[in-house]
Amino acid sequence: MRYAIQAEGLAKRYGETRALDGVDLAVPQGRLLGVLGPNGAGKTTAVRILATLLRPDEGRAAVGGFDVTKDAHRVRSLIGLTGQYAAVDEMLTGVENLMMIGRLLGMSRADSRRRAEELLARFDLSEAGGRATKTYSGGMRRRLDLAASLVGRPQVLFLDEPTTGLDPRSRTELWSVVRGLMADGVTVLLTTQYLEEADQLADDIVVFDHGKVIASGTSDELKATTGAQILEVRPLEAAHLDLVAQVVTDVIGETPDLDGGRVTVSVHDPAAVPAVVRRLDDLGVVATELALRKSSLDEVFLALTGHRAEEPAGEKEEVFA
Ligand SMILES: Nc1ncnc2c1ncn2[C@@H]1O[C@H](COP(=O)(O)OP(=O)(O)OP(=O)(O)O)[C@@H](O)[C@H]1O
Ligand SMILES: [Mg+2]
């Protein structure tokens, strides 16, 4: 298989901090790899190395078959990067920002204007294109940022937390743009702290923690690693909650969570579920909700790391409440 992005044993230290501590990655052409990890896990460090902005202390990496340190200029001609922090020039308009990049990439004035207008239309920014970007909302800036990384029609795109700080609607819009790029055959490496985002977009996911890959696989594979499905039972009458918990404890042999009028428990043997149903029926307990589902990525993350994926800094809205 041909890999658009390949890394082996990447390591980077800052004093005592091991930002990356021996990371391997392989992204087949045309796929999207989700790099999931909490604050300080090493996501941006990995992106910066792959995008030729930072040299690794150890290990090697290739993008589009070119070594990121020895053939950095060739790598740069293939890639686009949307950094974690908006990189647009506030004083310039949307059109000017995109045209400037086109000119830097060696396009003619006419071509760079055409490309700028095409991208602004695609990101629903045509009307705002003539305005200084300091007047843009956060979501508009992120879209312009993404547009900026596409001016040179990259084959490989790095998106470092592209939706952090966006409201749910802007986030969904950005997801659909990313899906469009994947449909065009672009290879994408996207970092995120949102488990849902990796679930929505990624073909494959690697989980970073403290500079190491602690798990990898498809979303389904990762969910299967906890080796459990989740049984949820919500009794019609809240007064029955303790009774349901007792039945679940007896039959499943695990202590359930009681949260929001619902009993939740990990189930390793799905065959035990009918016994729970029978016992509840015998006791005359009516359930308004009874579901056996795969664990969420959130639960997987918790099981892998022993802690929850932190909320992105400065983010008020809780996505995984
Ligand atoms: N230039 C630097 N100087 C010193 N330490 C650094 C530098 N860059 C990163 N680090 C440290 O390396 C570790 C990994 O940082 P990195 O920015 O790669 O994490 P991240 O996964 O992108 O986090 P976030 O989700 O907060 O963006 C952190 O402990 C960070 O403090
Ligand atoms: Mg980062």
- For the chain, domain boundaries: 3-223, 228-294
Ligand 1 near 44 CB (within 6 A): yes
Q: Distance from CA of residue 305 to its chain's centroid?
A: 17
The answer to whether 88 and 141 are in contact (CB under 8 A) is yes
Question: Which pLDDT value is given to residue 229?
Answer: 83
- pLDDT tens for the chain, 321 residues: list them: 689 999 999 999 999 999 999 999 999 999 999 999 888 999 999 999 999 999 999 999 999 999 999 999 999 999 999 887 767 888 999 999 999 999 988 999 999 999 999 999 988 899 999 999 999 988 888 889 999 999 999 999 999 998 887 888 888 888 988 999 999 999 999 999 888 899 899 999 999 999 999 999 998 888 887 767 889 999 999 999 999 999 999 999 888 989 889 999 988 888 889 999 999 999 999 999 999 888 777 777 777 777 666 544 433 333 443
The answer to whether 191 and 159 are in contact (CB under 8 A) is yes
Closest Cα to atom 3, ligand 1: which residue? Answer: 14
Question: Which pLDDT value is given to residue 295?
Answer: 77
Residues in a beta bridge with 234: 289
The answer to whether 302 and 310 are in contact (CB under 8 A) is no
Question: Which pLDDT value is given to residue 59?
Answer: 97
Q: Which atom of ligand 1 is nearest to the CA of 208?
A: 21
Q: Distance from CA of residue 278 to its chain's centroid?
A: 41
> Does the domain made of 3-223 have the CATH classification 3.40.50.300?
yes
The answer to whether 89 and 133 are in contact (CB under 8 A) is yes
Which CATH number is 228-294's, of 1.10.3470, 1.10.287, 3.30.70, 3.90.1010? 3.30.70
Token readout for 197 is 């985002």
- Closest by CA to 72, choosing from 53, 59, 87, is 53
Closest Cα to atom 1, ligand 1: which residue? Answer: 14
Question: Which pLDDT value is given to residue 26?
Answer: 96
Give 241's contacts (C-beta < 8 A, 6+ positions apart).
235, 258, 261, 263
Question: Which pLDDT value is given to residue 318?
Answer: 38
Cα of 99 to ligand 1 centre, how many Å?
32
Closest Cα to atom 6, ligand 1: which residue? Answer: 14
Closest Cα to atom 4, ligand 1: which residue? Answer: 14
Question: Which pLDDT value is given to residue 320?
Answer: 40
Which of the ligands is closest to the CA of residue 83? 2
Ligand 1 near 39 CB (within 6 A): yes
Q: What are phi and psi of 162, to 5 degrees?
A: -65, -20
3-state DSSP helix/strand/coil percent for the chain, to nearest 5? Answer: 40, 30, 30
Question: Which pLDDT value is given to residue 227?
Answer: 67
Ligand 1 near 265 CB (within 6 A): no
Q: Which atom of ligand 1 is nearest to the CA of 313?
A: 26
Ligand 1 near 48 CB (within 6 A): no
